[in-house]
Amino acid sequence: MQIKLLPLIMTAVLSGCSLAPDYQQPEPPSTQGWQGVEASQTAETELPDWRTFMPDERLQSLIELALANNKDLKTTLLNVASLRATYRIQDAERYPGLDASGSGSRTRFSDANTGNGKSYSSQYKATVGVTSYELDLFGRVQNLSEQALESYLSQDENRRSTVIALISEIASAYMNLLTNQELLTLTTETVDAYQETLSLVQTRYDAGYSDALTLAQSKTALYSAQAKQAQYKLAVAKGYNVLRQLVGAPIMQYIDGRLPEESGQMLSALQVGTSSELLLTRPDILAAEHALKAANANIGAARAAFFPSIRLTANAGSASNSLSGLFNSDSGYWQFSPSISLPIFDWGSNQASLDAAKIKKQSSIVAYQQAIETAFKEVSDALLGQTYYMEEWQAQQNNMAANQEYYELAKMRYEKGNDSYMDLLDAQRSLFSARESELSSHLNLLLSRVNLYKALGGGWRAADEQESAQVSSVLETMEQ
């Protein structure tokens, strides 16, 4: 009995062998030299949840709608589900499949065939067997299963990246739309003011109290403001369409608002460290590492192709001429059919496959390192933006206050007849330009904060919160 079990034990031991290289995480690229990053490399700080970072209720509603309806996110989730099923299919190859079958037949023979009158013949069979199971002596099937698993995990990290990107895109599009709405309101007020001024100048010109130059200047100011008004009307309409597509549902009830001037109402303060450990948890970097692990496992599968492949087919059962005797002790039978395939000459195909697998791994290493460098660049850009856009916004606020004072003085002097209309028009234009620049710089500051949150991998909790609901939605779609 011990002699019969020895081959099975040896087979089980050999089935655990793998020819894949031992995986070692590549050395990350140098993080030195990025502007604005070195000074901020403090202790790692946990990022706030996106709802804490974005307290605006309308924005939160838009993000929740997008997480439920965005088509790109649904496509990504379907890709994840597809790779998960692919992994399950590949992993099932590691284990023998057990099939059961039963059959029966009864044949009638006429007197013309037998010469002895009518006769009947019966045959019944019940079988349980293993069909074409590969003994994984060199880890080919195991490595293919590991490759499928890592590919699935990589795609799942891409799902989390998609959620993070979607949250950031919704916030950016929302703030762009609100800013353009305010700029449109500003230009509309300016157009109204210029129209009133033109009416006054036209009346004075008709009465002979104003000259043609002043009238022409009033007209050019009005037409220039009307052109700006048309530009912002277009920007608002396009911004609405962008946000509508991102959300995937009607949004009109969520955009009736203004961009808050006070800090903290649209986005809360983001004071975090930028240690490399924090950045290495970004989903895109984790996805690149899983892709590298998949390429590493593929080398093991390519190496195993050089060695013999053994497949087993076995079945056992019972056969009888009568149904009542099908399970008698003397009706049993079995069949065992091993086969072996040994590569001898393949015109270099296996070697080429191995070379391709090694090249793929080197390419994955480069992609992994590039993902880390991209992360540091994005963080550097966002930190620089957060610093210098704040300086710009403060300067623009001071500039707007100065221009407001300049306009009020010019208006007062014009009404008293001390200055010409040209001086008042110049003050109006300067004030409009200052307000326009202040709104734009404020928007840039807010966008830089969103970009920093995204660059640090913020929002991944939303991906995990939504996963179960999204998976259920996908399963319901597949069942229909």
Residues 207 and 332 in one domain: no
Give CA separation, 321 vs 100, 113, 120, in Å: 20, 20, 11
Residue 7 lies in a domain: no
For 95, list phi and psi in degrees, rounded to 5.
-120, 145
One domain for residues 240 and 171:
yes
178 and 325 co-located in one domain? no
Average pLDDT over residues 46-53: 82
Residue 3 lies in a domain: no
> Is 239 in the same domain as 293?
yes
- Whether the per-residue pLDDT at 467 is higher than 90: the answer is no
Indicate the number of domains in the chain. 2
| Per-residue pLDDT tens digits for 55-107 | 888 999 999 999 888 888 888 888 888 888 888 888 887 777 778 777 777 77
- pLDDT tens digits, 341-355: 778 777 888 888 888
162-208 residue pLDDT tens: 888 999 999 999 999 999 999 999 999 999 988 988 888 888 888 88
Q: pLDDT tens, 122-170?
A: 776 777 777 777 777 777 888 888 888 988 998 888 888 888 899 999 9
Same domain flag for 111 and 217: no
Which of left, alpha, beta for 132 (phi over 0: left; psi -120 to 50: alpha)? left
Annotate 157-193 with b (16+ C-beta within 10 A) or e (fewer): bbbbbbbbbbbbbbbbbbbbbbbbbbbbebbbebbee
Is there a contact between 301 and 144 (Cβ–Cβ < 8 Å)?
A: yes
The whole domain housing 142 covers 14-94+137-307+348-479
Residues 197 and 75 in one domain: yes
Distance (Å, rounded) from C-alpha 160 to C-alpha 155?
9
Residue 229 in this model has a pLDDT that exceeds 50: yes
Domain assignment present for residue 146? The answer is yes
What is the spatial distance between Cα 430 and Cα 438, in angstroms, rounded to a whole number?
12
Residue 395 lies in a domain: yes
Nearest to 430 by CA among 409, 414, 407, 408: 407
* 1 domain-assigned: no
- Residue 141 sits in the same domain as residue 131: no
- Asked if residue 31 belongs to a domain, the reply is yes
pLDDT at 179: 92
